[in-house]
Copies of this chain bind each other. A is one copy, B any other.
């Protein structure tokens, strides 16, 4: 039982790496199997298809992301601190998974189920952030949360493709974004 859990997780870990670094179409089941240290057939004991594996892998990542974002934010007291924790969490996530640029934030069209999950995830994330804003009394919390998250998303490609970006840059991006959000550009 625990063994099963381990197998499933091992496969999801491998899937994260392979899907993440190659993209859905260029990822091969055999490579995921090899990376998981098992055989191709075994994957099908745990996941009915490549697509299902892809979705399961993303689901796990989504849950993990949201859970962590919430944890971090809950530790903070002031609104500014909360925004800052969201920003840091978001950007560090990009930073730590920068070797797997395809693992997040985009999905193949022609995979409606995955699109739904992705929408749901964005929804959940935006709601999480919107709630923080509502608690602060901010109007139009939904629009504001989307704008805030979108600014963070904008750093994704830079973080992925510019190897010179380091943790100091990440901190700066977070500070800048929170400042712009709270006070505007001037």
Q: In whole angstroms, how far apart are the Cα atoms of A118 and B160 in the complex? A: 13
B182 touching A185, Cβ below 8 Å: yes
Complex interface: chain B residues within 8 A of A146 (CB): 154-155, 158
User: Which of A138, A154, A177 has the most B CB atoms < 10 Å from its CB?
Assistant: A154
By size class, the interface of chain A is: 35 or more
Q: In whole angstroms, how far apart are the Cα atoms of A102 and B133 in the complex? A: 32
Q: In whole angstroms, how far apart are the Cα atoms of A1 and B133 in the complex? A: 60
Q: Which of B106, B119, B149, B157 contacts A122 (CB 8 A)?
A: B157
Is A151 engaged at the interface, CB distance under 8 Å to the other chain?
A: yes
Interface majority SS (helix, strand, loop, mixed), chain A: helix
19 new A-B pairs (CB below 8 Å) besides A25-B25, A146-B158, A182-B184? A22-B109, A23-B109, A101-B109, A102-B109, A106-B106, A115-B161, A133-B185, A138-B186, A140-B176, A144-B180, A147-B177, A147-B180, A150-B150, A150-B151, A150-B155, A151-B151, A151-B154, A180-B184, A181-B184
> What residues of chain A have their CB less than 8 Å away from a CB belonging to chain B?
21-23, 25-26, 101-102, 106, 108-110, 115, 118-119, 122, 133, 138, 140, 143-144, 146-147, 149-155, 157-158, 161, 176-177, 180-186
Report the 5 A-B pairs with minimum CB-CB distance, sorted nearest first. Answer: A150-B154, A184-B184, A25-B25, A183-B184, A26-B110
